[in-house]
Amino acid sequence: MVLQTPPLEPVESIIPLAEEDLNRKDYASDVDTRWCPGCGDYSILAQMQRGLSNLNVAPEKMVFVSGIGCSSRFPYYMNTYGMHSIHGRAPTIASGLKLSRPDLMVFVITGDGDALSIGGNHLLHVLRRNVDVKIFLFNNRIYGLTKGQYSPTSELGKVTKSSPVGTTERPLNPLSVALASEATFVARSFDTDPQHLTATIERAARHHGAAFVEILQNCNIFNDRAFADYTDRNVRDERLLYLEHGQPMLFGENKNKGLAVSATGLRVVDADGPDAGLILTHDATRPAPDVHQLLARCAYPEMPVPMGVIRQVTTPTYGDYLDSQIEVQKFKNRHDVTQLLRGRSTWQVE
């Protein structure tokens, strides 16, 4: 059967907005936060509350579902509905919830271990199916809650509690995984740039479909300064590439550098030099994920680290298809429980 393609609608047409103007406090619960002082999670929490208040969706129409980990404590601190579930499985619970309650805005909060190790399979499939849930992966490149073992994003050779002489496995790149899983929205931000983080959260929330956001998050206890080489304030301009759809891929103190295609991927060119004309313009909506994958692979120190929305394409969600199938079948076929109970044929016993 050919799938029916329903029209896409803006968030507000599906999820009711709050009647009055809400601010970030309206999204904060009265539960005491329990992260270590200095943990990057605090900033993410604050930006989430701020970003959502910009959206102005009523808190009772939001549900935060998380797995297990420091990051997964997040739902307790939101004045929304929430479920702190089990390790790695939040995408499954969120999927079932969203598919049976399209009127709710459903978020998944997960960690690098939660999403990419124990829950790797579910992450792959929730993105592939394009279930309309917003996934925020707090990547601290370590297992925080279990006190400092390496994670699937820890760099090769990293010394941790469970790898005293260095790990012997290569890390996953969360953005590459998301793109390979056919994610329709892929973005990255980080804990110490509140403005950028707020804007990214808001964009993800507004996306119609599965949104995947990697948030670089500092675990100051077990993996301090994991991203400092490029996220510290004094080096950001040089080492980060802030992507904006429709804008040239420029970075550097005075936007004096840009990215162009090379034989093997992307390369840095001088924005004032002879190759300036080759500098790419960011197209997040490009159907082919080729350039998006190349961006995702840009890593410090060779390349600037991309931040922002790498990919955003619109396509019907799993729920759109499912709901339209139900509607079409209801229209086409009889649905009468009494008739169903009788089945194809019955006989009468006198």
Partner 1 sequence: MTTTSTQANGSGNTSAPIQERDRVTVRFAGDSGDGMQLAGNRFADATAVFGNDFSTLPDFPAEIRAPAGSLAGVSSFQISFSKHQIFTPGDEPDTLVAMNPAALKSHLSALTKGGLLVVNEDAFTSGNLKKANYPSNPLSDGSLDGYRIIKAPITTAAVAAVDDLGLSNQNAERTKNFFALGLVYWLYDRDLQPTLDWIEDRFGRLPNIAEANRRALYAGHAYGETTEIADAHVRVPPAVLKPGEYRTITGNQALVLGLITAAHLTDLELFYGSYPITPASDVLVELAALREYGVRTFQAEDEISAVGTAIGASYGGALGVTGTSGPGIALKSEAINLAVMTELPLIVLDVQRSGPSTGMPTKTEQTDLLQVMFGRNGESPLCVLAAKSPGDCFYMVLEAVRLAYQFVTPVVLLSDTYLANTAEPWPVPDLNQLDPIDVPYRRLEQTAPEDFQPYVRDPDTLARMFVPPGHAGLQHRIGGLEKSDISGDVAYSPENHQRMTNLRAEKIQRIANFIPEVEIDGPESGDLLVLSWGSTYGAVFTAVNDAREAGHEVAHAHLQYLNPFPRNLGDVVSRYKKVLIPEANTGQLRMLIRANFLVDAKGYNEVTGQPLSARQLTDAIIQLSND
Exactly one of 14, 46, 145, 280 binds ligand TPP (CB under 6 A); that residue is 145
Sequence-distant (6+) residues with CB within 8 A of 78 are 27, 28, 29, 45, 48, 49, 59, 62, 64
Given candidates 54, 146, 176, 324, which one binds ligand TPP under the rule CB under 6 A? 146
- Helices 194-206 and 41-55 pack at an angle, to 10 degrees, of 50
Q: Cβ closer to ligand TPP: 114 or 193?
A: 114
Nearer to Mg ion, 140 or 312 (CB): 140
Interacting residues with ligand TPP between 151 and 210 (CB under 6 A)? 151
**Nearer CB in complex with partner 1: 124/250:** 124
Question: Which residues would be at the binding site for partner 1 (CB under 8 A)?
Answer: 29, 31, 58-65, 68, 75-76, 78-86, 89, 91-101, 103-104, 121-122, 124-125, 322, 325-326, 328-330, 332-335, 337-338, 340-343, 345-350
- CA pair distance 14, 286, nearest whole angstrom: 26
Number of C-beta neighbours around residue 44 at 10 A: 24
Report the 10 Å Cβ neighbour count for 40. 24
Range in contact with Mg ion (rule: CB under 5 A) among 91-99, 105-113, 260-268, 339-347? 105-113
State in angstroms the smallest separation of the CB of 217 from Mg ion.
8
306 makes contact with ligand TPP (CB under 6 A): no
Site string for ligand TPP, 30-69 (x = CB under 6 A): --------------------------------------xx
CB of 176 to ligand TPP, least distance (A): 18
Q: Which does 59 bind (CB under 5 to 8 A by kind): ligand TPP, Mg ion, partner 1, none?
A: partner 1
Task: Give the gyration radius of the chain's Cα atoms.
Answer: 22
Q: Which of residues 41, 112, 132, 191 is near Mg ion by CB under 5 A?
A: 112
Considering the complex, state which of residue 113 and residue 209 has its C-beta at the smaller distance from ligand TPP: 113
| C-alpha–C-alpha distance, residues 253 and 263, integer Å | 27
Separation of alpha carbons 182 and 348, rounded Å = 54
What mask of x and - would describe binding to ligand TPP in positions 224 to 243, judged by CB under 6 A?
Answer: --------------------
DSSP collapsed to 3 states, 72-104: HHHHHHECCEEEECCCCCHHHHHHHHHHHCCCC
Q: How far apart are CA 249 and CA 233, in angstroms?
A: 20
Residue 111 and residue 138 in contact, taking contact as beta carbons nearer than 8 Å: yes
102-125 burial: b if 16+ Cβ within 10 Å, else e: bebbbbbbbbbbbbbbbbbebbbe
Q: Which residues make Cβ contacts (< 8 Å) with residue 161, sequence separation at least 6?
A: 147, 148, 149, 222
For partner 1, the closer CB: 13 or 348 = 348
The DSSP output letter for 148 is S
Among 40, 111, 316, 319, binds Mg ion (CB under 5 A): 111
Shorter beta-carbon distance to ligand TPP: residue 85 or 312: 85
Name the site residues for ligand TPP (rule: CB under 6 A). Answer: 68-71, 87, 111-114, 138, 140, 142-146, 151
